[in-house]
Amino acid sequence: MAGVSSCMKYSMFIFNFLFWVCGCIILGISIWMRVSKSAQEELHIDSSLFAGVNVLITVGSIIMVLGFLGCCGAVKESQCMLLLFFIGLLMILLLQIVAGILGAVYKSQIEEILDKSLAEEIALLKSTTSNDKNFRDNFHKFEIQNKCCGLLNGQEDWKPNLQTYHGCECSNEDLGTKFCTGSMYTKSCKEVIMAFLKNNMVIVMGVAFGLAFIEVLGLVFSMSLYCQIQRK
101 and 209 assigned to the same domain: yes
11 and 100 assigned to the same domain: yes
- What are the DSSP calls for 67-124, one per residue? HHHHHHHHHHT-HHHHHHHHHHHHHHHHHHHHHHHHHHHTGGGHHHHHHHHHHHHHHH
Residues paired with residue 180 on neighbouring β-strands, in sequence order: 185
pLDDT higher than 60, residue 1: no
pLDDT band at 167 (very low <50, low <70, confident <90, very high): low
DSSP designation for 177 = S
34 and 117 assigned to the same domain: no
Residue 147 lies in a domain: yes
Distance CA 43, CA 83 (A): 40
Residue 59 lies in a domain: yes
10 and 99 assigned to the same domain: yes
Distance CA 34, CA 44 (A): 12
pLDDT band at 4 (very low <50, low <70, confident <90, very high): low
Residue 1 lies in a domain: no
* Mean pLDDT of the residues in the chain: 80
User: Based on the structure, what is the number of domains in the chain?
Assistant: 2
* pLDDT reported for residue 92: 86
pLDDT higher than 60, residue 3: no
pLDDT band at 46 (very low <50, low <70, confident <90, very high): low
* pLDDT reported for residue 87: 92
10 and 102 assigned to the same domain: yes
Length of the chain as a residue count: 232
Single pTM value for the model? 0.63
pLDDT higher than 50, residue 181: yes
Distance CA 143, CA 151 (A): 9
Residue 51 lies in a domain: yes
53 and 72 assigned to the same domain: yes
148 and 169 assigned to the same domain: yes
Domain that holds residue 187: 110-192
pLDDT band at 43 (very low <50, low <70, confident <90, very high): low
Residue pLDDT, tens place only, 112-138? 777 787 888 888 888 778 777 888 888
Compute the radius of gyration of the chain from its Cα atoms: 24
* pLDDT reported for residue 49: 62
92 and 149 assigned to the same domain: no
pLDDT higher than 80, residue 11: yes
183 and 117 assigned to the same domain: yes
212 and 174 assigned to the same domain: no
101 and 137 assigned to the same domain: no
Do residues 86 and 222 make contact, with C-beta atoms less than 8 angstroms apart?
yes
Distance CA 47, CA 130 (A): 14
pLDDT higher than 80, residue 205: no
pLDDT higher than 80, residue 218: yes
43 and 122 assigned to the same domain: no
Residue 79 lies in a domain: yes
Any long-range contacts for 103-112 (C-beta under 8 Å, 24+ apart)? Answer: 110/197, 111/194
Residue 197 lies in a domain: no
* pLDDT reported for residue 13: 87
